Chain A
Amino acid sequence: MKRFSILFSILMITNSCEQLILDDELVSVDPKTNFDYLWNECNTKYAYFDVKNIDWNQVYDQYSPLISSEMSQDSLFQVMLAMLLELKDAHTNLVSSFNISFYQIDLVGQDNFDFRILEENYLPSNYYISGPFVHDFLSGEEVGYIRFGSFSGDVDNVNLDFVLDRYRNTKGLILDLRENGGGTPTDMFRLLSRFIDQRTLIYYSRIKEGPGKNDFSTPEAAYIDPHEGLRYNKPIMMLVDRGTYSAGSFTALATKAIPNITLLGDTTGGGLGAPNGGQLPNGWTYRFSISQTLTLDNDPSYENGVPPDILAYFDWTDLSKDEVLDAAIRQIVN
């Protein structure tokens, strides 16, 4: 009995510590609880309401009446998906075990890229692949073409040195970032450091610091330092389109500060906000943008897309030509 009392005391004391300090469980599959939780998370942390002219309270009024306690999980997902689509932001997702929501930014504009056309009409059959770069000569040996399809974090000095050394005697380079959906911005710093001769301010970034729509940190400057080894300082045409997103758009924005790089193609998809990550009371997960990237004159509006210096579009009536690529070649050769 005495030992039981001691054991009971131990359990009581340890259990009371937890009850004393930890708050109650918040797990819930109630549709309204989860809808409100997600709406509130966006309301206090999403970074681009003003830039995109979104009235988030009006969005609540629009979608909240669609929530009922009897609705299925799939129906709840569809309502929350529709609410998130109002952000028009491909950095926004809702993830459950049965569905993932996404915003198709590349469908905002026309398709401007088909690698098959390049393979059939421009590149040799044994084109080079060096790390993340697909590349070869175009227009005789006057132009170096480098396809960079994803910011996978694989850009390094070995593959960059090889590529830039191979094309060091060309008149110019074409860096093709069409349909590059982004990845890690680290690649951008490594890549662009090869095309500058001095420390270059490329943009500013600020991050949410409070629940108010404009509660941001002081903008912090982003610089790129020139690589100390092999660099390329001849003209570079960077090809972009609506599918150029996130780190692709960061790179496109950065080129505005680099004189020898010209942006050519369609406006990029944007995606200049860093996406966060979180979980709802029912276990679904989500993400949305919580920072703003500003141009050198402190404009956050390039979230809606970085405009090209030269507009060029694909003509799908002729599948033997890449008109965007042709325009870039002309710019270099002529």
Chain B
Amino acid sequence: MKGFFLLLMLIFASLTTFSQNELADDSLKSKKVKPNYLTLGAGFHASKFRDIATSPLFYEGLGTVFSLSALTSDDRVESEFAFQNLNGIHGVVVGNESAISTFNQSILSYSYLLSFRKISNEKWNFKAGAMLNALLNVRQNESLFNNSFGLESVNTLFVSAQAKRDISRSKLVVKKWLFLKIKLKPKERDISFRFNVGVVNNNLRNGYAYLNQSWIISDDSQVLDGYKYSFFSGTRLTTEWNYTRHLTNGNAIRFAFNTDVYSTGNQLDKFEAAHYTMKFILLFRTK
């Protein structure tokens, strides 16, 4: 069932990629200045992870998230170069046993989306494209003795599809509630959903023994000694829900809810994680 669902999504993702021939033929000709934004985001996340190489248990926890990006976005094109850092304390409890792990994740990503003009209209905008994403997790779990330090990098090429709905209120609306008269002013706003499917999933993981021996053979311990880079190994899906309110001065504010679920491929030391992130983002228009 899982495989079938994955296949369906990959086909969907592939179709959206190949369909880019249908992209608006006037998109590249336009001389209109694309709005550029510097975005600053902060919020919270709920995450869970499991590193089979050291434990069969999922560690779950909450933490903070911070993001920074350069965003270019209009009806035709959307590109974003982004950095995100996620921090937290995660734990596991089984009966009287408990353990905690620190968790720090940094992500660098670049994404590029182009619109489907033929199926887009004033209210709906559909885009498709790709995203490169490099993720680095650093963990510390003292209960795991010499395996207390965990580090992995997951590098993914996604194909992406985005649907955006303009939910602006174009004119003043007056509503009555009991004896109150409520005036709802015009607002420019939109809501969007983006779905990213990892098509190239690579990762950097520890060797078979997890622990390395650099600290035994030298006084200069090498963190990545024994690590191996695996190509086309693993699965990753991310989703992004955004509610954006555009302000009259060109800036905007955004509420974002993102999910990032991934797994490295090797059964012996599979690393699995799911992150659910809620962010409040300020978009400062720079051009």
Contact surface of A with B, Cβ cutoff 8 Å: 10, 13-14, 16-23, 25-27, 29, 37, 45, 73, 93, 95-98, 184-186, 189-190, 205-210, 215, 217, 220-223, 250, 274-285, 287, 290-291, 293
Pick the residue among A37, A98, A189, A210 that contacts B208 (CB under 8 A).
Answer: A210
Q: Is the CB of A284 within 8 A of B270?
A: no
Residue tally, chain B, CB below 8 Å to A: 54
For residue B262, CB closer than 8 A to chain A, the reply is: yes
A222 near B144 (CB under 8 angstroms)? no
Residues 122-160 (chain B) with a chain A CB within 8 angstroms: 143-148
Main SS of the interface on chain A? mixed
Shortest CB-to-CB span from A37 to chain B, Å, is 7
- The answer to whether A282 and B94 touch (CB under 8 A), given A10-B257, A276-B145, is yes
Which chain A residue lies CB-closest to B142? Answer: A277
B233-272 interface with A by 8 A CB criterion: 235-239, 241, 257, 259, 261-263, 270, 272
- Which residue of chain A lies nearest to B147 when distances are taken between CB atoms in the complex? A277
Selected from A21, A185, A217, A277, the residue in CB contact (under 8 A) with B148 is: A277
Q: Which residue from chain B places its CB closest to the CB of A285 in the assembled complex?
A: B143
Other CB < 8 Å A-B pairs besides A95-B143, A97-B97, A274-B213, 9 of them? Answer: A21-B237, A23-B263, A29-B95, A186-B215, A186-B221, A190-B219, A205-B217, A279-B143, A285-B144
Instruction: Check if B211 sits within 8 Å of A279, measured CB to CB.
Output: no
Whether the Cβ atoms of A220 and B56 lie closer than 8 Å is: no
Bound together, the chains give a CA A13 to CA B6 distance in angstroms of 13
Contact between A283 and B239, CB atoms less than 8 A apart: no
A-B contact count (CB 8 A): 163
A23 to chain B, nearest CB (A): 6
Inter-subunit contact A287/B145 (CB<8 Å): yes
Cβ of B99 under 8 Å from chain A: yes
With A10-B241, A186-B219, A220-B217 already in contact, the answer to whether A276 and B211 are too (CB < 8 A) is yes
- With the chains together, A206 CA to B274 CA distance in Å? 35
Closest residue on chain B to residue A6 by CB atoms: B191
* A284–B97 alpha-carbon span in the complex (Å): 7
A-B contact pairs, 14 of them (CB 8 A): A17-B261, A21-B262, A22-B48, A23-B270, A26-B57, A27-B56, A27-B94, A95-B143, A185-B219, A186-B219, A274-B146, A276-B145, A276-B210, A278-B54
Query: Does residue B284 face the partner (Cβ distance < 8 Å to A)?
Result: no
Task: State which of A37, A206, A279 has its C-beta within 8 Å of the C-beta of B54.
Answer: A279
